[in-house]
Amino acid sequence: MNLFPHCKWIFFDVGYTLLDETPAWQAMFKSLSADAARDGLPVSTDVIWQTFRQVALDFEPKQWWALCKRLSPNEEEARRLEHTSAQWQHDLQVPHHRAGDVLRVLSRHYKLGIIANQALGTADRMRQHGWADYFSCIVGSAEAGVSKPDLQIFTYAFHEAGCTPAEAVMVGDRIDNDIAPANLLGCGTVHVRQGISGAQKPRNPTEQPTASVAGIADVPELFGMTLD
């Protein structure tokens, strides 16, 4: 059964939706732990993981800053940690199980796009994973100059794609960044419960996704399709 009979475009988030960010976060947290220890703030990577999970569950909009603030005794130290810890390593991200198969199967019947908060080079990174040909529209926040959950990044993407919100479905792991804003615009929404933010729960009806799945490999079933 197809839950989205009027859908023409499926838009995906990237981090923890198509790509597993865990190895990249592990590197960041190792660096953060070392930086904090040098400043006399011993904190283990396990504690950092636990704190970061709570940051996500609390719907903090700026998760990295919220993490540094919760780990630090004062704002000055939090700002230092925020800006001096290791840079994000995109090459450590790996595709979630069968993510490429999902894109291949869905692209046979739908136009696919990306709406994601990403550093410059989202299209290049999709190419590196062998996925560039699946996407007809890639909108990253660095290039667009606006970030989720701002509705403007969604309306910009729909304009670029030439579709209406009613013709689009947004697939993402974050209730706050992906599901809630897409709902407000009238899109179909799929919450993928992967990664840290995948554990978020809707707090009110406006955050309730059209559908919720355990992993990206389950998405085609919502469109009446199966993986080869």
Structural domain boundaries, residue 67: 22-90
According to DSSP, the β-strands at 135-140 and 111-116 are: parallel
From the list 96, 74, 90, the residue with the least C-alpha distance to 217 is: 96
Residue 185 and residue 108 share a domain: yes
Full-model pTM: 0.95
Q: 228 falls in which pLDDT band (50, 70, 90)?
A: confident
Residue 15 and residue 63 share a domain: no
pLDDT (tens digit per residue) in 50-84: 999 999 999 999 999 999 999 988 888 888 888 87
Residue 212 and residue 105 share a domain: yes
* Helices (runs of H) and strands (runs of E) counted in the chain: 10, 8
Domain count, the chain: 2
Residue 160 and residue 83 share a domain: no
Q: What is the mean pLDDT of residues 173-201?
A: 97
For residue 113, count other CB atoms closer than 10 A to its CB. Answer: 23
- CATH number for the domain including 123? 3.40.50.1000
Give the contacts of 173 (CB within 8 A, at least 6 positions apart).
13, 15, 16, 17, 191, 192, 193, 194, 195, 197, 198
Residue 130 and residue 217 share a domain: yes
3-state secondary structure of 171: strand
Q: Which range, of 73-82, 191-200, 219-228, averages the lowest pLDDT?
A: 73-82
Is 227 part of a structural domain of the chain? Answer: no
